[in-house]
Amino acid sequence: MRLDLPIRPRRNRKSPVTRGFLCETRLHADNLVLPLFIHPGTGTQPIKSMPDCFRLDLDAMYREVEGALKEGVRAFDVFPAIPESQKTPGAEEAWNPEGLVPQAIRGIKARFPEALVITDVALDPYNADGHDGLVQDGRILNDETVECLIKQALCHAQAGADVVSPSDMMDGRIGAIRDGLDDMGYTDVSILSYCVKYASAFYNPFRDALDSAPRFGDKKTYQMDPANVREGLRELALDEMEGADIVMVKPATFFLDVIKTVRENTALPVAAYHVSGEYAMIKAAVLNGWLDEKRVVLEALTSIKRAGADVIFTYYARQAARWLAE
């Protein structure tokens, strides 16, 4: 029997060359950012909740950057694990010009000038309370925190950062940081705003990696409710008006609708962060033999790009780049 079908969609899927010719969304290594966990000691330290991820000393970090560049990954985001002895209520280590992050920035740019260095601007790794902002009587201080973030962003810019990325979600910090950078002549330093960042349950492995979990309460007074989308559009409008160059949605996989909505409401580049919990879920299933790692990772990252992300932060950046090159 042959059906009388003038329209047969399967014709467009009949062979690899046909499927490739008609592919609507293409993932490339240039779309990927590799987060780097660094520590001030020596050697590498495994992160139990993130198999195959490590805290790196500076030498190991340089080797990681060199390897990633060879594989086509050219953008890196630096996250520090700070010793308890350097964590204070005022988070002063965040803008120490001889601190771990400025050392890492200078080292990467000296060895690999072609690398794009992104830095996290937030106080939680340095704050004795583990919060992204200064704390007073159990309350997160907004304006006083922004003053600190300006100093932190300037410290990173002075060390050679290409992009500073405020992840703290304090009100008004994008405009204040932009003004601070411009006033000191750093007009070419870009701001990637964690614009739509949710108070998600998927961050725990990251906090294990940096020992940066809040010492009390949670982050719901500054990070967004996962139930909300319109609130994110308000944050987007404000950050765009204040001078953000790139905007981010975080997390990614469970927020594809938000990525799509942000994409449809801005002309700015949109980034998305495939976060530690999303990574850990895939790794756990792979280690149990339940999923094909390559296929699942590429499907996840492609779905994030299909939703509208121009840039994807992922711990799978190097593996994905290798798989895409096959």
What SS3 string covers 189-237? Answer: CEEEEEEEEECCHHHHHHHHHHCCCCCCCCCCCCCECCCCCHHHHHHHH
Question: Going by C-beta distance under 8 Å and a sequence separation of 6 or more, which residues neighbour residue 131?
Answer: 123, 124, 140, 214, 215, 219
Q: Is 172 left (phi over 0), alpha (psi -120 to 50) or beta?
A: left
- 250 catalytic? Reply is yes
Give burial (CB, 10 Å; 0-12/13-18/19+) of 279.
buried
- Reference 133, options 178, 171, 83; nearest CA is 171
Give the three-state DSSP class for 279.
Answer: helix
Catalytic residue among 70, 151, 219, 250: 250
Catalytic residue among 197, 219, 283, 305: 197
SS3 content of the chain, % helix, strand, coil (to 5): 45, 20, 35
Residue 80: in which H helix or E strand, if any? strand 75-80
Query: Distance (Å, rounded) from C-alpha 122 to C-alpha 206?
Result: 14
Please check whether residue 314 is in contact with residue 73, taking contact to mean a CB–CB distance below 8 angstroms: no
Q: Computed over its alpha carbons, how large is the radius of gyration of the chain?
A: 20
- 151 catalytic? Reply is no
Catalytic residues: 197, 250
